[in-house]
Structure 1
Amino acid sequence: MLSQKTIEIVKSTAPVLAEKGVEITKCFYKNLFSSHPELLNIFNHANQAKGRQQTALANTVYAAATYIDQLEVLIPAVKQIAHKHRSLAVKPEHYPIVGEHLLGAIKEVLGDAATDEIINAWAEAYGVIAQVFIDVEKEMYEEATNQTGGWKDFKKFKVVKKVEESAIITSFYLEPSDKTALPAFLPGQYITIRLSIPGETNLLNRQYSLSDAAGQSTFRISVKRESECTPKGKVSNYLHDHINMGDELEVTAPAGDFVLDAEKAAPVYLISGGVGITPMMSMLKTVAASQPKTHSSFAQKIMSMLKTKETAQLNNPVTFVHAAKNGEVHAFHDEVCETIENLQNARRYFVYEQPTSEDYVKKQFNGEGYLDFEKLSSIVKEKEAQFYICGPVEFMKATVINLEKLGVAEENIHYEFFGPALNLKEYEMA
C-alpha cells in the first residue's frame, strides 16, 4: 500500500505529465528499444510511427498519476490493456524493464525538476500499478489456457482457405495444425498472429478481429492491405502477397473486451467504416446463428458461450450500417445482405463516399458521401439502443459525436480501436 506522502507526490506531477507526457513516452520507447531490441516484436511499428502508441501510454501514465489513490477507477482501462498484453504474450518479467526505462525517461525529459523524491515516489507507485496489471493478466492467461480447446501463448495454425473479399481486404481461414477443436470466443474479440518476414530481425505480431461467429472449425480474420499509409503495413502486405493455403502462422487465443453484450434487452446498431466491418461481421453472424428459427447445436453453443439463458440482445432489432469509399473496397456486401435477409428483424444501410458507375448500376448502396449527422438521424430510430462502432479513428470520433447530438447516452456507445487505445474525445482530427 502506498504511503500518503507518495500519493501526494505522484498526484502533484499530474499537470507536468499532462504537458510533457508524449515527450516522456517518446523518450521511453526510444531508450527501451535501444536497450531491448527483442521487445520490438511486441509493438506495431506503424502505431509507433504515427505516435499513437506514445500518446496511449502518455494517457495511461497521466491517468495513473491522477487516480493513484483510487486505482479501482482504472480497472476498466487496465482490463482493456491487459487483454492486448495477454494476446501479445507480455509477461511479468517485462514490467521491471518497462519501469526502469519509464523512470529514466521521466528523469531525462524533466531534468532537475525530477528530483530524487519524485523519482522514488514514482518507482514505488509503478511497482503497485505493475502488480495490478500482472494480477489481472495472470487470470486472463489461466482462463485462456484452461478453457475447452485453450492453449498458452502462441500455437501453430494452418491457412486452409484464402478469400478475396474486396480489392483491399482478404480473409484467411485458420485451422489448428494439430487438428484440435477451437475454443469459444465472444463476438468482437481478436487474435494475435505472429510470423517471420524475410529481412526482419524479429518476429512480428499483429492483432486482427475475428470476422465470423464462433462454433466453426476455423478462425476467420479479414486483413486490409495497408499500402497507402506511411509506413506501409509490413504484415498486412506480406499476408496478402506471400501467405497462402498450407502456410503456417502462430496464433494466440481470442482476447478483447469490445464484445456484443447479449444480456441487454435493447435494439442493436452495428456501425463500421472500412475494415472496421470485421468485428461487426462476428457480431452479426452470432446474432444470426442464435435466433430461435436457427435452433441447432450451434445456437446452443452460442448461448452457452455468452453465459446467458435469455440472450435478450440476440432477439432484438439489428441495424447494420457500413461506410466505404465504394463497392470495389466494400468487403462482405453479399454476405451481410444474405444474413440480414434471413434475420427476423434486421435492416442494413450502406453509404459510399465516392460511388463508381458500376455501384450506381447495381444500386448496392443507400447513401452517398460521408456517414454524417443527417444520414445518422435518418437511420437511428431507437436512441435507447446499444451502439457498436469500429473503423478509422476520425470516423469513430465523428460518429460518436453525432450519436450524442442525437441524444444517445454515452454509456450506450461502445467502440474499438485498431491499435493502442486513445482518448477518442480528445483525439485531434487531421
Structure 2
Amino acid sequence: MTYPDETAEEAVAEVVSAAAELISARFGGQPVLSDPEILSGQSDALVVRVRVGVNPFLPHRSIVVKRIAKTGEGSEPAMLREVVAYQFANTLPDEARPGPELLAYDISQRLLVLSDSGVVDTLADILANGDEEQRLRSFRALGAALGKMHIQTHHREDGFETLRRRVWAKGGVERESIYARDRGIVSAIRFGIRAFEGSGLEVPDAVRSFAGDAARRIEKGTHRAFTPFDLAPDNILMADKVQFLDYDWAGYRDVLFDVASVVAGFPLHVFVTRPSRAEVEAFIRSWTEEIRDHWYRATDERRLLAFIAAALVGWLFISATIAYFGSPERALSFDSETAANEEPTVGGPALVLRDMANTARAVAEFAEHCEDERADQLRDFAIKVIAYLESGEELAQ
C-alpha cells in the first residue's frame, strides 16, 4: 500500500489499531488486522479496508473501518446520524438491508467497523467507463434497489425514531439537535429562493408553490421511507445487490427526493454528468414497479411527474444555498435570524454552476411533460436559470 504521506500512514495505523480493540471488545479474541487499503470517496472520512486474520469469533475475512472527520466539539452529529442509520439497517432482513452491516462502533472515537462488500464497481465507475447497455442495466438496478428499500422501510419509522432518540441521548446531544438536519433542508430551500432573487431572477408564484410542496414533503410527506437522500455515484456499490454507503444525510423523508436526485444527475456531485433520457426512463420504470402495490397514487404518471418536479425544484434551491455557504454543513445549520440579514446570490466555481444547470435542465424537462397548471411558469423559470448559470459558468472558467 502506498500512502499519500507520513501523516496519512500514521492516521491509518491509529484507525486500524482502534478497530482491533473495538472488534476484540465486541466479539472477543485478539483480531489480527493487516494490509490496510485506503478507499477513495467524496467524503472527508478516512475509510480503510483491512484483512482479518483467522478468528473464531469473527467470520469476516475483510472489514472496512471508517473514521468520520471531526468538525466541532463534543459528539459529532454526522457520526450519530451514521450510527443510527447503520444500526437501523442492521435490524432489517438481509434482503432489505440497503448497505453493509455495522459490526462495531465507538462514538467518542468517531469510528465505524463495517462488513466489506468486496472489490466491486461503483456506479461512478460504470458512468465513467461503462457502455450504453451496462449503464442502462445499472440504472434499472438502481431504481429497483431504491424502490425495494423505500417499500421495505416505509412502515418502520417509529422504530427508526426510537433508535435515533436513544443514540443521540447516548451521545449527550440535546433532543432539539436530532431534527436539525431536516429543518436545515427546509431552510435551505427557502434561502435558495432568496439567492436566485438576489441574482435578479424573479421566482414566480408557481415556482414558489412547487418549492413549498418540496419543503412540506421533507417535513411530513406522504411517501416517507428510509432514504440516504444525498446519493453519490461513488457511494453506490453495483454488486450482486446494489448497496448504499455514507448515511450522513440519511433519515425518513419523502422518497421522491431520491428519485429526483438520480434524475438530476446527482446534485452536489459536480463530476457526474446527467443520465440520458433512456436511462432516466429505465430508472423510473424500475422504481415504480417496486412501489406500485403500496403507493399506487405515485405511479399515476400525472402525479408522479408533479412529485418529481417539486423535488427537483427543492434540489435546485438547496444546491444554490450550499454553493453560497460553501459546504453542506454550513448551509444546513445557518442561523435563520442572522441569515435574514444576508443578501445572497447564486454563484460559485464553474463546476458548481454546471451542476446546478443540470438540475435546472431536469426541472425544465419535467415541467415540459407535466400536466400541472403551474408547469408553464416552472419551465420558463428553469430556462432563465439555465441561461443565467451558463453565462456565469463561462465567466468562472
Q: State the TM-score, normalizing by the size of structure 2.
A: 0.25
Name the structure with the higher strand share.
Answer: 1
Q: Between Structure 1 and Structure 2, whose CA radius of gyration is higher?
A: 1
Name the structure with the higher helix share.
Answer: 2
